[in-house]
Each structure stands twice: as C-alpha cells, then as structure tokens.
Amino acid sequence: MNVEILARVQFAFTIAFHYIYPPLSIGLGLIMVIMEAMYLRTGKKLYEQMTKFFVRIFALIFGIGVATGIVMEFEFGTNWAVYSKYVGDVFGSALAAEGIFAFALESGFLGVLLFGWNKVRPWVHFLATLMVTVGSMFSAVWIVVANSWQQTPAGFHIVGTGLNARAQITDFWAMVFNPSSVQRLTHVWLGAFLSGAFLVLSISAYYLVKRRHLEFSKAAFKISLVVATVCSLLQLVAGHESAKVVAEYQPAKLAALEGHYPKDSVADMYLFGYVDQNKQQVKGVAIPGGLSFLTKGDFKKPVTGLNNFKPEDRPKAVNFVFQTYHLMVACGMLMIGLSLLGCYLWWRGKLFEQRWLMRIFAFSVLLPQIANQVGWYSAEVGRQPWVVYGLLRTSKALSQAVTAGEIVFSLILFSWVYLVLFVLFIYILNKKIKHGPYDEENLDHSPRHIEMVDALS
C-alpha cells in the first residue's frame, strides 16, 4: 500500500473524529453564557436550570474533545517527521500560544464552572462560564492560524536545504495575520456557534415532541433559534469572504471547488452536479457566470481554470472536492431555511404547534456537523498536492522510516479506540438527555436563588 495515502487517511480519520467535539463545545459555551446572563438579569430559576443542564453536556463534550486531540500531536512525529521539522517554528509558536492563552484559561475556570454552583457568588460563576467559552474560542484562534499559514504562508523565510529545510518566523504578527487567517477563523467560529445552537435546538425539539419539560424546552429553543438564525445568515457573508481569499491566493483550489478546467474563461457556479475528470466537464445545474460574479463581481470576467496549472501542481480528486464543497453549501442553506422558517412561525405564534417541524429540528443537529466535516475535506484536499501551499509537497513531508504496515496497525488501533469512545459518548449523552434538565426534588429554590430573587424584587 502507498504510505502517503495511508498516512493521509489516518490523519483525516483522527482529525475528523476530533473535529466533532471542539465546535460543539465552543457553540454550546456561547449558549450557556447567554442562558446564565439571562438568569443573572431576571433571577428566573428556569434559566439557571438550563445552564446547569447544558453544563453537564458541555463537560462530556469537552472531555472527549481533549482526549481525541492528543493523538494528532503524536502523528506529526510518527508519520510526518519532515513536515514537523519544516513547520516546527510556526506550529510551535502557535501551539505554545494556544497552551498559554487558551487552554490555561479554559482549564483554570472549568472547575468553577462545573463545581462552583452554590459555592461562589453568581457573578463569579458567570465569569467562569464566560472565561471557559472565551478560552475555547482562543484555542480555535491558534489552531486556525497554524492551519491558515499552511494555506497562505506569510512572515517567514526558509533556512537550510533538502530534508533539513525549515520555515523560520521573521514576523510573528504577519504569520498570525496571514492572508487567510481572519476570514477562515470567522468561518470556523460561526460553524462552531451553529453546532452548539443546533444541538440545543435538537434536544429542545425532542422534548417538545415527547411533551416533556415544555416550559424549559420552549425557552431554550427560542434562545438557540436566535443564535442559529443570526449565525447562519452571517455565515453566508463569511463564506463569500473566504471564497474571495481562496480565489486570490489558491486559484487551483477555487477552480477545483467548481470543477472549472478551461484557462481564463467565464466560470459558472453549480448548484449541484458531477465532475467528469476524464472529459474535464461538469454535468449539473449551474448559474451561468456565477463563479465569475462571486469572485470578480462581474458575470463576464474570466476565472483561472485548472488547465492553467501543471497536472502535478493541481488537485487530483476534483470531483471529491466539488462534492464536499457543494454538500457544505447545501447544509448551510438548509440551516438558513430552517432557522428563518422557525422565526416566521414564532412571529405568527404557531412555532410549537408544528410537530412535524419539531421532528425535523430534532435531527437538525447533523447539519452543522456534516457542514463542518465536508467543509474541512474540501479545504484540505483542495490544496493538494501541497501540505504547505507552494512550498512543501505532501509526498515530501512524510517520515522516512515509517512503513505502510505500521500505519495500518495504528489506524486499526485508533479505529477501535475511537469507536469505543464514540459509543460511550452517545450512550452518556443519550442518558443525560433522557434523564432531563432537572430532578423533581431539586425544584425548590436554593438559598442563593432566594437571595437573588429577593435582591431583584
């Protein structure tokens, strides 16, 4: 078997599994901050119960996310030693910044968030919830910065040659604010907020279909629906800005996203279709000149096609890039449609009368997850054959000593471990959801809550 393909499959598998959890924790953190802020503002016990319930789910997601993220760091050394040496300065500084500014912040306040109820003042607990959420967002900053540098390198020079070549930072802030980092970070954050919002929508819709915890579910549904609507609409803008950056700095990837082969000609934008790579054609439904308008602001302006590049310098899996990109866009549109429909029925006062819609929302948790996964596939496969765009080919980044058999063995091992973790995650999550947001015996107000209500009344 091909060592490069196996190493790429293993990394894709591990990061795809890991990438289920960080977006959920970031998005759920934002929802928890809103819920707890509403509790502090109104003194209503319902909002405190909401925060407590979703904190328990957050803790489960956070724990699995941390456990699955460790494996990838070992893979850099075992399978991608040349790559690790090449980007060591860049990744080292970004990962160090994540540890100092993000993970320490998250971990420091996590204990107060989980165990501080009725032990610290309400505003102190709210501060802990806020800091854990900010920490998780900072964590995304440095990971996206490191990844974006690979897509659009800046602020560095190369020292050494051959296997000893490596990128050395000359301008830290140019590296951080490389041409794609801001747009990609905005795109990732909004995707994470949508993951959290649709998780809460899904759980709330499930209770509404089952006629359980109605007051709790309706209030949680409304909060998350507002977040989902705002973020899904903003994602349209963020996606457009990200596409403009790709068009300027990674034209081969942009051409692959729409299966555009001809040199410098008007490019259509497909709603759906299939790329025949042998004939270099796309069969499907398209908006004529749509890609030209999206990237150039003019339906008649030419766009650089794949044939402008040598075959060895452009993505090979064009149809895969095309399909994953269009599936991401389709999921985004479905989220916008569902959110706006929910807001319209809310405005008409008929939102919670539509059981069919609640059933759809109960499964809608999958939409942002699919969008995040396929969006990442299209971004990473679309930049091939480069692991660092225009500088280091993926085929040259492999460890020299690793064998196909060793990668297959570790891939099987990871698959079993991750399968166990995923089954455990689903089992515990299902148990928490079925248990419900609170125990009946805990409905009485705590001394702290009574104190708050007295102060607000």
For 41-81, what is each residue's pLDDT tens digit?
998 889 999 999 999 999 999 888 888 877 777 777 788 88
Please state the pTM of the whole predicted model: 0.91
Alpha-helical regions (H) of 250-394: 251-258, 290-296, 318-347, 355-363, 366-382
Comparing CA positions, the residue from 54, 11, 9 lying closest to residue 29 is 54
> What is the per-residue pLDDT for 183?
93
Q: C-alpha distances in angstroms, 155 versus 86, 97, 110, 175, 178? A: 15, 17, 35, 5, 8
Retrieve residue 204's tokens: 């709330």
> Has residue 162 got a pLDDT over 80?
no
Judge contact between 202 and 372, C-beta under 8 A. Answer: no
Cβ-contact 327, 272 below 8 angstroms: no
pLDDT beyond 60 at 161 = yes
Handedness of CA 348, 349, 353, 358 (dihedral sign): positive
CB atoms within 10 A of CB 332: 21
Residue 86 has pLDDT above 50, yes or no: yes
- pLDDT interval class at 451 (50, 70, 90): low
389 DSSP 8-state letter: T
> What mean pLDDT do residues 253-269 have?
91
441 has pLDDT over 70: no
Q: Say what the pLDDT of residue 455 is.
A: 57
Q: The tokens of 134 are what?
A: 């900010």
Supply the pLDDT for residue 454: 53
Task: Give the pLDDT score at 70.
Answer: 77
What pLDDT is recorded for position 452? 59
Q: Which tens digit of pLDDT belongs to each residue from 355-412?
A: 999 999 999 999 999 999 999 999 999 999 999 998 999 988 888 888 888 889 988 9
Q: List, for residues 106-144, the tens digit of each pLDDT value.
A: 878 888 888 888 888 889 999 999 999 998 898 888 889
Per-residue pLDDT, 447: 54
